[in-house]
Structure 1
Amino acid sequence: MFFLPKVVVNEEDKGNFATGETAAAVPEGHSEDDGHDHGTAEGGTADVHVAASPEQLMELATARARFNKTTDAQARMRIAAELAEAYATANKYDSAGYYYEVAAEARGGEKSYKKAGDAYYEAFTFAATQDRANQLGAKAREMYEQVLKNNPSELDAKTNVAMTYIASTNPMQGITLLREVLASDPNNEKALFNLGILSIQSRQYDRAVERFRKLVSVNPSHLEGTFYLAVSLAETGENEEAKALFNKVKSMSTDPALAASVDEYLAKLN
């Protein structure tokens, strides 16, 4: 498939969440070694989009040195927040999470912990190994728990917590949380999309059609939702509607790789 769901499936659950396709390995957004055991990836990274420029690396090294030398608590908090932003800009999300966490612990507040959780979650989605996914997923949950403790209705945080459980040894807890999100907000796009993806992974295409049909009714311009609705319809034998939607996808994007993927599906349906 052209779009790859951002989730690492636990080895023990591959039978329940099998995609039927071989997903390309996604490089991990990770930090350079800065003296903390919070973000060093196993095996490094090969994707140009997660490689920091020499200028960014120099700025990060300088900011880290300032952070390590500063003893004033307020100054360390401010520099930690700046470091987190810089790491996020450089796509080194695990290190961004670490420094957002440092700032959140000093500053407190829902927004601070949400930033830390979001950064750890972003790193989680790029985890190259199950162990790394478990580690980063646990850190994301830890930060989001602080958010949900003060604001249980923060559905974005709850949805991300759910997805970390999907990749753990307890995937049903994640599915339960996603259903709770939809019970609170039936039009929640993120929950609809993720439940649709999980239905495809478990080959429950009728359920996938239901989820993605709802998603595109909520947001007709949702490119991934339209694509996966077409895929699900093709798998359930609704070829004519699938073909119409695949052609709609081509009109929604100028991405040549996506167009090529759609053409492959159309060739199979014709």
Structure 2
Amino acid sequence: MKRKQAFLLTFSVILIGALYFLGDFKGKKKHNGHTHNEAMNASPQNPIENIDALDFKQFELSQENSLNEQKKATLSELKVKAIKKETAHEYKDIAEFWEKENELIIAAFYYKKAAFLENTEKSITFAGSLYLALLEREGDMSKLKWLSLEAIPCFEKVIELNPNNDNAKVALATCYTEGMGETMKGVTILREITAKDSTNIPANLMLGKMSIQSGQFDKAINRLELVLSKTPENTEAMYFLAEAYKGQGNKAKAISLFEKCKSIVNNPEFSKEIDNYIKTFN
């Protein structure tokens, strides 16, 4: 029980943080209405497909070398046990070791190894979600790409185990669009979801955001209005709908939505950023 509680505590903070900064945009810095990661991924100066992914083995070795001798010995023992027994339990021990060192990328790697040994939809979904949460917080492009490459097999496996898991499909699309720069792969997955269920909230939300990035404001408005009709206090949809109306030239509607978003989020830093952003409207 202790193991599970410790495991969930640290990564729950990450998952909540991802929602806080990327779901509801509370306190997240914006660049022309997009999150930092979206702005980078959309930048022609930084095409992520041309960036090498993190060399994980080298990264892990570097972090191991920074440990004191006692910790190195502990880690070595854990690795020997994992190689010998090759069970989820031993890999979770290694993951927890790195979690305590606040090396969450390495911890996620070993939680993934444990999840694939357990081979359940629940465990692999959670492993993929850890990568996705880290991906959405990551500013280093090589790490961003590596996290995507690690997350993709997780969500592909979940879909193999349960072909009706649309949340896994949206997560997979997110990996392709935000982490790999493969927009059309992501769009294809999302459109397959909406073809089956035209009111799917996560898929329409993501397609709406992507329509803004491509300047298709009418399409964005249609999708985001649909999302808000189903989830009226969805502040992420509200924020991007405001952006879509601004892009369309309807600044009064945009300001109204931004003000409503401010009142629901109820965060002073977020409100200040929105107020400053509105001041830039001409």
Under a length normalisation based on structure 2, what TM-score does the superposition of the two structures give?
A: 0.69
- Superposed CA RMSD: 3.7
| Inter-partner Cα distance in structure 2 for 1:85 and 1:187 | 40
| Inter-partner Cα distance in structure 1 for 2:227 and 2:100 | 30
| Inter-partner Cα distance in structure 2 for 1:223 and 1:201 | 18
Matched residue, 1:37: 57
The aligned amino acid for 1:4 is T
Q: In structure 1, which of residues 177, 199, 221 is the aligned counterpart of residue 211 of structure 2? A: 199
Q: In structure 2, which of residues 161, 175, 191 is the aligned counterpart of residue 164 of structure 1? A: 175
Q: Is the contact made by 1:144 and 1:161 (CA closer than 8 Å) also made in structure 2?
A: yes
Number of equivalent positions = 238
Q: In structure 2, which of residues 242, 248, 271 is the aligned counterpart of residue 236 of structure 1? A: 248
Q: How does 1:203-222 map to 2 (within 5 A)?
A: 203-222=215-234
Matched residue, 2:275: 263
Is 1:190 aligned to residue 206 of structure 2? Answer: no
Deviations 1:25-73 (A, max 9, x none): xxxxx9xxxxx7286599x9xxxxxxxxxxxx9xx97974552242662
| Inter-partner Cα distance in structure 2 for 1:40 and 1:112 | 23
Q: Is the contact made by 2:79 and 2:94 (CA closer than 8 Å) also made in structure 1?
A: no
Q: Is the contact made by 2:176 and 2:185 (CA closer than 8 Å) also made in structure 1?
A: yes
- C-alpha change, 1:195 and 1:121, in structure 2 (3 Å) is same
Q: How many Å apart are 1:116 and its aligned residue?
A: 2.2
Matched residue, 1:9: 41
Q: Is the contact made by 1:80 and 1:102 (CA closer than 8 Å) also made in structure 2?
A: yes
Q: In structure 1, which of residues 173, 180, 185 is the aligned counterpart of residue 185 of structure 2? A: 173
> Per the alignment, in what secondary structure is the counterpart of residue 187 of structure 1?
coil
| Inter-partner Cα distance in structure 2 for 1:173 and 1:98 | 24
Q: How does 1:1-270 map to 2 (within 5 A)?
A: 1=30, 4=35, 6-7=37-38, 9=41, 37=57, 64-65=75-76, 67-70=78-81, 73=85, 76-84=87-95, 92-166=103-177, 167-168=179-180, 170-269=182-281
**Larger helix fraction of residues:** 2
Q: Is the contact made by 1:124 and 1:133 (CA closer than 8 Å) also made in structure 2?
A: yes
Matched residue, 1:54: none
Matched residue, 1:27: none
Q: How many Å apart are 1:190 and its aligned residue?
A: 2.3
Q: How many Å apart are 1:82 and its aligned residue?
A: 4.9
Q: Is the contact made by 1:199 and 1:205 (CA closer than 8 Å) also made in structure 2?
A: yes
- C-alpha change, 1:254 and 1:135, in structure 2 (3 Å) is same
Deviations 1:102-157 (A, max 9, x none): 21232222222222222222333334344433322122111222211111111121
Deviations 1:248-268 (A, max 9, x none): 112112222211222134334
Q: Is the contact made by 1:38 and 1:98 (CA closer than 8 Å) also made in structure 2?
A: no
Q: Is the contact made by 1:100 and 1:115 (CA closer than 8 Å) also made in structure 2?
A: no
- C-alpha change, 1:41 and 1:140, in structure 2 (3 Å) is farther
> Per the alignment, in what secondary structure is the counterpart of residue 9 of structure 1?
helix
- C-alpha change, 1:129 and 1:152, in structure 2 (3 Å) is same
| Inter-partner Cα distance in structure 1 for 2:61 and 2:145 | 13
Deviations 1:57-105 (A, max 9, x none): 9xx979745522426627x521423554675687744223311222123
- C-alpha change, 1:41 and 1:196, in structure 2 (3 Å) is farther
Q: Is the contact made by 2:127 and 2:154 (CA closer than 8 Å) also made in structure 1?
A: yes
Under a length normalisation based on structure 1, what TM-score does the superposition of the two structures give?
A: 0.71
Amino-acid identity (%): 26
- C-alpha change, 1:114 and 1:207, in structure 2 (3 Å) is same
Name stretches of at least 5 consecutive residues in structure 1 with no aligned partner. Answer: 16-29, 31-35, 45-56
Q: How many Å apart are 1:12 and its aligned residue?
A: 5.7
Name stretches of at least 5 consecutive residues in structure 2 with no aligned partner. Answer: 1-29, 48-53
Structure 1 segments of 4+ aligned residues over 6 angstroms from their partners: 60-63, 88-91
